């Protein structure tokens, strides 16, 4: 068991706000602990569909579509899903009343058993945790990959046992509400502008990311990107041993590339892992993800040979630079997980043929100026198709950067159709929106699945 819960849930009425996957699994775990969950979401029962079916017939109380603040009158504690900000009225009121308040990640951590590994960063989290999970499984460990990746840590907590490896993807939203969360190995992969509609300022966003190291001690390891100046500054004052990963430097403890070889320097020794060209997943950003996973696994005692074999065979994750099909000589690439500008820049850098890029989506109140400059300088981006809530802003910043080959689409389906019409044989169509999906879809996965569905219809036509 990790840190014992400071709150006894047995017989307590716990208001759970946010009935997405995290809230549902947290409620299931509360039921196991003998609590009485009060289920709340701004959506009503009809809008939530069957995602709460597993809670039917339990002692949970249903308060869907209701204002959560009045429900505090009958609650002993408040548990919030990651989508609920720590400055939400219900959280502020609960704290004012002195009610025990906890986030889903912190709650799940307190109930989980095993070795906690926490991975955060603006981009690359899902690829890195999935790859790390595969490395640990190949080494013979029971490894759970959960957290922000889609499988809540609350679900893992119900299955985990001492000695299990809990590879946890952690978002800045989840880090807002941690307290006793303690990772044996924690990593920050990179930090670029994102989620300012939630965190307000870049300084706040950076501070949230650094919180993943809060409870570490000298017995733990903090993994950081030496090539990212924000990450580099995070090392200052950390009690944990710092392990770096870098594509550019070879003078630090950690994972680096020297003469085309991935090498790890740790405990005063150097260990060759494999040639960098052997890493199966493409792109310089994925080399960084691979080194972060390799360093983390090595710090956990995984042999170099096991790490190397997994780096050579790991095929990547769905919705991240995912090849879908070739239609009329054009390759279609699904990068729906490209939900911010930096992620899309990395996807662009993997393109090796003339590419039509589909951009746009939910407005997170961030600048696209750097992305626009990158597109203007890219030899591969042939044309852009813009859609969604950010289309106007994107077009303004792209034209300011000198990009002229721009089309506008009124719907996602039209965007794919225009891309097909514009693409040339031997080229690519890349869906990498640089935006979240919430203006058109419930999540980036739904957006990616719709893209793949439309492409497969082309194949069958």
By annotation, the residues acting in catalysis are: 125, 148, 195
387-397 burial: b if 16+ Cβ within 10 Å, else e: bbbbbebbbeb
Phi, psi of 245 (to 5 degrees): -135, 145
Note whether 364 and 460 are within 8 A (CB). no
Phi, psi of 445 (to 5 degrees): -65, -45
Phi, psi of 266 (to 5 degrees): -155, 140
Find the distance separating the first CA and the last CA of the chain, reported in whole Å.
55
Nearest to 304 by CA among 139, 117, 144: 139
DSSP at 71: G
List all residues 6 or more positions away from 305 whose beta carbon is below 8 Å from its beta carbon.
Answer: none
Other Cβ atoms within 10 Å of 187 Cβ, number: 31
CA separation for the pair 300, 134 (Å, rounded): 14
Torsion of CA 118, 124, 126, 127, to 10 degrees: -110
DSSP 75-135: -SEEEE-TTS-TTSHHHHHHHHHT-EEEEHHHHHHHH--SEEEEEE-SSSHHHHHHHHHHH
**Bridge partners of 332?**
325, 429
Q: Judging by DSSP bridges, how do beta strands 269-275 and 261-266 pair with one another?
A: antiparallel
Nearest to 210 by CA among 219, 228, 364: 228
Contacts made by residues 67-72, CB under 8 angstroms, sequence distance 24+ = 68/15, 68/17, 68/40, 69/93, 71/15, 71/38, 71/40, 72/15, 72/97, 72/99
CA separation for the pair 452, 333 (Å, rounded): 9
**Helices 369-377 and 341-348, packing angle to 10 deg:** 10
DSSP 302-322: --HHHHHHHHHH----TTSSE
DSSP 426-443: T-EEEE--SSBSTTTSSS
Q: Judging by DSSP bridges, how do beta strands 143-147 and 221-225 pair with one another?
A: unpaired
């Amino acid at each position: 068991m990790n840190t014992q819960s400071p709150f006894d849930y047995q017989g307590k009425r716990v208001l759970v706000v946010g009935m997405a996957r995290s809230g549902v699994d947290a409620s299931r775990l509360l039921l196991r602990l003998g609590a009485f969950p009060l289920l709340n979401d701004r959506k009503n029962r009809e809008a939530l569909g069957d995602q709460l079916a597993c809670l039917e017939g339990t002692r949970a109380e249903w308060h869907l579509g209701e204002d959560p603040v009045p429900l505090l009158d009958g609650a002993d504690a408040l548990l919030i899903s990651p989508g609920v900000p720590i400055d939400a009225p219900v959280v502020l009121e609960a704290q004012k009343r002195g009610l025990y308040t906890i986030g889903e990640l912190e709650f799940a951590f307190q109930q989980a058993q095993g070795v906690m590994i926490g991975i955060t960063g603006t981009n690359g989290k899902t690829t890195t945790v999935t790859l790390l999970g595969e490395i640990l499984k190949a080494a013979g460990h029971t490894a759970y990959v959960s957290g922000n990746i889609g499988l809540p840590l609350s679900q893992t907590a119900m299955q985990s046992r001492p000695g299990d490896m809990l590879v946890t993807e952690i978002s800045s939203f989840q880090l807002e509400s941690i307290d006793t969360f303690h990772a044996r190995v924690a990593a920050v992969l990179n930090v670029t502008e994102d989620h300012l509609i939630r965190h307000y300022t870049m300084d706040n966003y950076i501070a949230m990311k650094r919180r993943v190291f809060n409870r570490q001690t000298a017995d733990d390891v903090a993994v950081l990107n030496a090539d990212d100046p924000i990450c580099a500054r995070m090392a200052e004052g950390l009690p944990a041993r710092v392990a770096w990963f870098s594509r550019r430097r070879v003078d630090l403890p950690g994972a680096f590339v020297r003469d085309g070889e991935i090498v790890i320097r740790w405990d005063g020794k150097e260990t060759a892992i494999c040639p960098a060209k052997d890493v199966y997943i493409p792109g310089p950003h994925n080399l960084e993800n691979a080194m972060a996973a390799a360093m983390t696994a090595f710090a956990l005692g995984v042999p170099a040979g096991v790490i190397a074999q997994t780096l050579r065979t790991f095929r990547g994750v769905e919705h991240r630079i995912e090849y879908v099909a070739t239609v009329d000589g054009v390759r279609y690439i699904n990068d729906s997980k490209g939900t911010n500008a930096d992620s899309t820049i990395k996807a662009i850098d993997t393109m090796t043929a003339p590419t039509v890029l589909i951009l746009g989506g939910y407005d997170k109140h961030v600048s696209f100026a750097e992305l626009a400059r990158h597109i203007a300088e890219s030899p591969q981006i042939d044309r852009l198709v813009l859609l969604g809530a950010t289309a106007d802003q994107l077009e303004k910043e792209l034209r300011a950067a000198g990009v002229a080959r721009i089309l506008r689409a009124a719907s996602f389906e039209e965007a794919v159709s225009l891309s097909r019409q514009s693409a040339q044989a031997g080229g690519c169509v890349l869906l990498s929106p640089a935006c979240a999906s919430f203006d058109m879809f419930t999540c980036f996965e739904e957006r990616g699945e719709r893209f793949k569905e439309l492409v497969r219809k082309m194949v069958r036509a």
